Amino acid sequence: MTAVAEPVVDETPVGRLWGVGVGPGDPELITMKAVRLIRDADVIVYHSARHGRSIARSIAATHLRGDQIEEALVYPVTTGATSHPGGYRGAIDEFYEDCAKRLATHLDAGRDVVVLSEGDPFFYGSFIHLHRRLADRYPTEVVPGVTSLSAGCAVLGRPLVEGNEVLTVLPGTLPPDVLAARIAGTDTAVVLKMGRTFPGVREAFTEAGRLADTWYVERATTAGQRVARLDEVDAESVPYFSLAVLPSPVRGPRDPAPLRAGQAEWVTPPVGGSARRPVEAVPEVVVSEVVGIGDGQAGEVVVVGLGPGDTAWLTPQAAAALAVAEDLIGYGPYLDRVPPNPRQRRHPSGNTVEADRAEHALELAAAGARVAVVSSGDPGVFAMATAVVEAAAQERFAQVAVRIVPGLTAAQVVASRVGAPLGHDFCVLSLSDRLKPWEIIERRLRAAAAADLVLALYNPASRTRREQLDRAFTVIREHRAPDTPLVIGRDVGGPTESITVTTLGDVDPAVVDMRSLLLVGSSMTRIVRHRRTGDLVFTPRSYPAS
């Protein structure tokens, strides 16, 4: 008898996908089950715009362990504004296909994934798109949350429905005439998704004859909560996260119950005025262009500026580019500044192989990968952007898309630490002669010093390159007085940051190394002895006529 081979079964356990509702805003409205799952999860997922802030994550922040993998799903397009060949719907569909693949990588590795959802995951929630693509392949469960309309009625202090009344929930994106017909034919109604649709929503309530009985609730249960009559709200003040509530018409006072101590204040705007309160805005979760969506062929290389060191200086655009990358390439210490994600492949390299690093990134992208090349500071200032663009000029990389995401450069941060030394014209120079002859550096330095420009000097010295700094000071002193202000910023944004304000005559070259940046003032730059702040340095915006 012929033996029949048993099929090989992969017994690696897959992870579980959870859609977890975190409620409308108040962290105390998260359910106990949601808290447990958030704390236990291997991977935390949340949506955000390119600004990087996530309402859902902020609600759940106190329950995160700190060692979990985080996946930011950055919305790719505005409402309808995109250059994607499939239009808005095509861009969104491709975005969620990509998001599903990213989460599947973790699930296949056996990691439990929690997707945070404002309100309830199945109530106009973005999680629905992921559920549709993943629930048939992985164990999936949904944890309900308090919806925005439940929160809106709670802070309004009026019942939403009673007895046999009919409630109709409507998106504000419907045409005003359709909204009006639905509102006129129901007992109570809630309209969500307002923002830019608010004028049409108000028109619909007016046409239905229900405007006088309708209330406006903004960001219910949060510090920015606002409640007002719908007909008293300035359309320019309405954010996306707001509701129009037509509550139950039966029994009870016409006005909502008074607020108790500790609740947000009511807003009663002046006639013809704005009802907006001076609270921190929470922008609509949309962005202005397609981010990280390929064309199905070659991939993309994005050169990302990380800023000088402090993670607070990473821009939302840079964070979004890092979030969607599949491969990360860069100088080892710079890659270490990016939180690890097992889904992503890392390719660290040394500090003097920029060309090789650029070609490696382009080769990966040519094979279809999304590649982020990380660079400290701004990638276009003595960093990786030039190497990548130069390599991309080769014909073999003609189909690879290349983008540069700017970052905060060291000169700006050092200047901000001491005031405004770059308040007038200034020149940026690198003193490294690794890629250009010293004769060129000295000629440019002499010309900039003679022109009385403030100087920002990058790469001033290293362990093996000390003579150049002394020669640079000699050139500068030919055109600047000894009392010219000089700022040394070292490891700016890092754990050993130091800022020294001195003068050209008193500077000690021995304290300057490769992690330093120098700002040398012009003849107009001044040091101000400030009683509270300490030494401040500034260069006046005006310059005397010759």
- Statement to judge: residues 38 and 140 lie in one domain: yes
CA distance 420 to 38: 44
CA distance 408 to 96: 31
Which of 360, 384, 408 is the last residue before a domain boundary?
408
- How much is the pLDDT for 493? 84
Positions in the chain short of pLDDT 50: 251-254, 257-296
Q: What is the CATH number of the domain that holds 417?
A: 3.30.950.10
CA distance 144 to 150: 13
The predicted-structure confidence for 192-218, as pLDDT tens digits, reads as follows 989 899 999 999 999 999 999 999 999
Is 257 domain-assigned?
no
The predicted-structure confidence for 2-39, as pLDDT tens digits, reads as follows 555 555 555 668 999 999 999 999 999 999 999 999 99
CA distance 428 to 280: 36
- Statement to judge: residues 87 and 184 lie in one domain: no
- How much is the pLDDT for 444? 96
Is 37 domain-assigned?
yes
- Statement to judge: residues 384 and 469 lie in one domain: no
How many angstroms from the chain centroid is the CA of residue 44?
A: 16
CA distance 193 to 241: 7
Is 311 domain-assigned?
yes
- Statement to judge: residues 363 and 308 lie in one domain: yes
Is 294 domain-assigned?
no
Q: Is 148 exposed, middle or buried (0-12, 13-18, 19+ CB in 10 A)?
A: buried
- How much is the pLDDT for 189? 95
Q: What is the CATH number of the domain that holds 131?
A: 3.40.1010.10
Contact between 406 and 380 (Cβ < 8 Å):
yes
Instruction: Please provide the DSSP assignment of 315-362 as one string.
Output: -HHHHHHHHH-SEEEEEHHHHTTSPP-TTSEEEEE-TT-HHHHHHHHH
Give kind and range of the element (H or E) at residue 411. helix 410-418
- Statement to judge: residues 115 and 137 lie in one domain: yes
- Statement to judge: residues 229 and 140 lie in one domain: no
Which of 92, 126, 145 is the last residue before a domain boundary?
145
CA distances from 19 to 44, 82, 100, 127, 492 (A): 11, 28, 13, 6, 41
**Residue 522, C-beta contacts closer than 8 angstroms, at least 6 positions apart:** 424, 452, 453, 454, 480, 484, 539
Which domain does 174 fall in, by range?
A: 149-246
How many structural domains comprise the chain? 4
- How much is the pLDDT for 281? 34
Is 445 domain-assigned?
yes
- Statement to judge: residues 511 and 456 lie in one domain: yes
- Statement to judge: residues 51 and 164 lie in one domain: no
Instruction: Please provide the DSSP assignment of 260-325 as one string.
Output: PTTSPPP--PPTTS----S------S--SS--S---SSS-EEEEEE-BSS-GGGS-HHHHHHHHH-
Is 122 domain-assigned?
yes
- How much is the pLDDT for 259? 41
- How much is the pLDDT for 17? 97
3-class secondary structure, 146: coil
Tell me the HSE value of 310 on the side-chain side, using a 13 A CA sphere: 11
Is 39 domain-assigned?
yes
Q: Position 9: which residue type?
A: V
- Statement to judge: residues 455 and 525 lie in one domain: yes
- Statement to judge: residues 324 and 362 lie in one domain: yes
Q: CA angle 525-529-534, nearest 5°?
A: 110
Question: Maximum distance among all alpha carbons in the chain?
Answer: 106
- Statement to judge: residues 107 and 218 lie in one domain: no
Contact between 35 and 63 (Cβ < 8 Å):
yes
Which of 383, 408, 433 is the last residue before a domain boundary?
408
- Statement to judge: residues 335 and 427 lie in one domain: no
Is 66 domain-assigned?
yes
Give backbone dihedrals phi and psi of 487, rounded to 5 degrees, phi first: -115, 130
- How much is the pLDDT for 53? 81
